[in-house]
């Protein structure tokens, strides 16, 4: 039983190669069946997204497995292996488990910590289930990967900080205002980027949106779209006092919001904070506005800096996430080790021996005048029953353990007799000593 992952991602292959290797969702089923039938895989999952294509599978032998998967990828897509090979990576054993856990947790993604990959991994897994290519190992492997990803998501803040400019603007607004629920925003200029930022602010509960634009019709149009208020461009400074967040994105060649304007507005609004986002080039808001108390001005470069800082912060969280991944790998391997046939047999025998002893004691305490000889006879008889009952199942189990379905038989035995994983490990350790 060997877990093997062969594939490529955004770091190892350019888009030209990745797009050729993609598996559309409707062909994955057939591809999986082919992988198992013609390429000798015991189990298999195909994960195909725009940034990665990976075959996660279980093979009896490592080298052969890697080779078979490569051959499968090359033949399925009709690409010569020579062109493909330099872009492919192959992980086996524990490295493969680690790779999958990191992928599911978003640690291997282009945007670290992004959540979509988990959903894509779940889809890939359910396709494998529908096509009967997910066996004992793949089931456990993916369930563990999902729970590791979930832990990473809940125990670290890796998904928390914004890594796009418009999200960064919202994040900053939250650091200034806390709650955005009772805040109003004004769009000065109605470009695409302003629209995007406004959408994010609205989805974070901003109360009101005021829109102004040089062409008034465009402002009205957008106001309708966002359920906001349109105001004339030459009058917009009058409305400034009512809003907390200003997003400027006009094509004006010089500053349209100056320190004097803001000083006057600040007095009127009793110095409640104002957040100016200037995404226009050349800038629309005089940077000196930032020197006014309770006014905060961020231009497009500042926002880019915030995004960078957010990404750095995510990387910091990644360290914590890696620890979680390592822990989950350990619990996965605890289970894998229990799949060995020897500890399973030992555990099963000891389990039955315990029952035999208990029952024998019970019987002996109910009988009166049992001689030492009687006792020996009873011991022998009960032991013989257990041995005879166990003989056939254990012979089959030992034989099947070497076959393709071996893991299934061992897992079934453990389930049927309720043998704990921990126990098995302890037992193997003891028997080794």
Partner 1 sequence: MSYLFFNITAAAYFAATLIYIAYLFSHREGFLNSAKYILSGGFGAHTITIISRWAEAGRTPVTNLHESLTFFSWITVALYLVLLYRYRVSVLGAFVAPFAFLLIITASFLPSEVVPLAPLLESLWLPVHVILAFLGNAFFALACIFGIMYLIQEHYLKKRKIGGLYFILPSLEILDELNYRCLTYGFPLLTLAIITGAVWSEYALGSYWNWGPRQVWSLITWCLYAALIHGRLTTGWRGRKAALFSVIAFAVLLASFLLINIVLGGAHGLLR
Interface with partner 1 (CB under 8 A): 155-157, 161, 172, 174-179, 270-273, 290, 293-294, 296-298, 302, 305-306, 309-310, 312-313, 316-317, 320
**For residues 51 and 161, which CB has a smaller minimum distance to partner 1 in the complex?**
161
In whole angstroms, give the CA distance from residue 162 to residue 225.
Answer: 25
Q: Please name the helix (run of DSSP H) or strand (run of DSSP E) that holds residue 52, with its range, or none.
A: strand 52-59
| 71 is a catalytic site residue | no
Token pair, residue 401, equals 């353990």
Q: Looking at 15, 25, 50, 129, which residue is catalytic? A: 50
DSSP single-letter state for residue 285: B
Q: Which of 25, 64, 22, 27 is nearest to 42 (CA)?
A: 64
The crossing angle, in degrees rounded to 10, of helices 216-226 and 192-203 is 30
Alpha carbon 338 to its chain centroid, in Å, reads 27
Nearer to partner 1, 48 or 310 (CB): 310
The tokens describing 3, both together, are: 């877990």
Least distance in angstroms from the C-beta of 159 to partner 1: 14
Radius of gyration in angstroms for the set of CA atoms belonging to the chain, rounded to a whole number: 32
Q: How far apart are CA 266 and CA 168, in angstroms?
A: 25
Nearer to partner 1, 312 or 380 (CB): 312
Instruction: Give the C-alpha separation, 411 to 43, whole Å.
Output: 15
Q: How far is the CB of 267 from partner 1 (least distance, A)?
A: 8
Report, in Å, the least distance between residue 282 CB and partner 1: 18
Query: Closest CB to partner 1 among 36 and 318?
Result: 318
Specify the residue, 23 or 298, whose C-beta has the smaller distance to partner 1.
298
Residue in this structure with the two tokens 């389930």, named with its chain if needed: 415
Query: In the numeric block, which tokens belong to residue 393?
Result: 């199942």
**In whole angstroms, how close is the CB of 98 to partner 1 at the nearest point?**
22
- CB neighbours of residue 165 within 10 Å: 17
Closest to 375 (Cα-Cα) out of 358, 393, 363, 387 = 363
Question: Which residue, 151 or 214, is less far from partner 1 as judged by CB?
Answer: 151
β-sheet bridge partners, residue 208: 184
81 Cβ contact list (under 8 Å, min separation 6): 70, 71, 74
- Least distance CB 313 / partner 1 (angstroms): 5
Minimum Å distance from CB 301 to partner 1? 9
What is the spatial distance between Cα 300 and Cα 116, in angstroms, rounded to a whole number? 27
From the CB of 39, what's the least distance to partner 1, in Å? 45
Measured from the CB atom, the residue of 199 and 294 that comes closer to partner 1 is 294
How far is it, in rounded angstroms, from Cα 174 to Cα 156? 20
What are the distances in angstroms from CA 333 to CA 240, 282, 329, 339? 61, 58, 6, 10
Place of tokens 């994105």: 249
Catalytic residues: 50
């Amino acid at each position: 039983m060997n877990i093997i992952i062969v594939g490529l991602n955004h770091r190892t292959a350019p888009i030209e190669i990745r797009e050729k290797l993609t598996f559309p969702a409707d062909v994955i089923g057939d591809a999986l069946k082919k992988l198992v039938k013609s390429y000798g895989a015991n189990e298999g999952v195909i994960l195909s997204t725009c940034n990665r294509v990976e075959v996660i599978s279980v093979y009896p032998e490592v080298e052969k497995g890697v080779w078979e998967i490569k051959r499968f990828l090359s033949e399925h897509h009709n690409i010569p292996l020579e062109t493909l090979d330099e872009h492919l990576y192959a992980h086996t054993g524990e490295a493969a488990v680690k790779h999958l856990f990191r992928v599911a947790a978003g640690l291997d993604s282009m945007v670290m910590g992004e959540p979509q990959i988990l959903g894509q991994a779940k889809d890939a897994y359910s396709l494998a289930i529908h096509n009967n290519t997910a066996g004992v190992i793949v089931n456990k492997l993916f369930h563990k990967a999902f729970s590791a990803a979930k832990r990473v998501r809940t125990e670290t803040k890796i998904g928390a900080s914004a890594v796009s400019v418009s999200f960064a603007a919202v994040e900053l607004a939250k650091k200034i205002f806390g709650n955005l629920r009772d805040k109003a925003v004004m769009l000065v200029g109605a470009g695409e980027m302003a629209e995007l930022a406004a959408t994010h602010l609205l989805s974070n509960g901003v109360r009101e949106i005021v829109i102004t634009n040089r062409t008034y019709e465009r402002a009205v149009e957008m106001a309708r779209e966002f359920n906001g208020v349109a105001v004339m461009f030459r009058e917009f400074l009058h409305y400034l006092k009512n809003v907390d967040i200003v997003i400027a994105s006009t094509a004006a060649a010089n500053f349209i919001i100056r320190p004097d304007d803001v000083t006057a507005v600040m007095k009127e609004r009793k110095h409640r904070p104002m957040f100016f986002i200037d995404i226009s080039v050349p800038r629309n808001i005089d940077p000196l506005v930032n020197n006014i108390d309770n006014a905060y001005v961020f231009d497009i470069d500042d926002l880019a800096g915030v995004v960078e800082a957010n990404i750095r912060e995510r990387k910091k969280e990644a360290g914590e996430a890696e620890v979680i991944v390592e822990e989950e790998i350990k619990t996965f391997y605890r289970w894998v080790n229990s799949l060995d046939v020897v500890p399973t047999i030992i555990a099963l025998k000891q389990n039955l021996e315990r029952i035999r002893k208990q029952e024998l004691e019970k019987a002996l305490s109910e009988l009166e005048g049992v001689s030492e000889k009687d006792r020996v006879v009873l011991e022998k008889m009960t032991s013989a029953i257990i041995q005879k009952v166990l003989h056939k199942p254990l012979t089959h189990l030992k034989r099947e353990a070497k076959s393709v379905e071996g893991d299934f038989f061992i897992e079934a035995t453990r389930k049927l007799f309720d043998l704990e994983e921990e126990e098995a490990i302890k037992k193997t350790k003891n028997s080794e000593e």
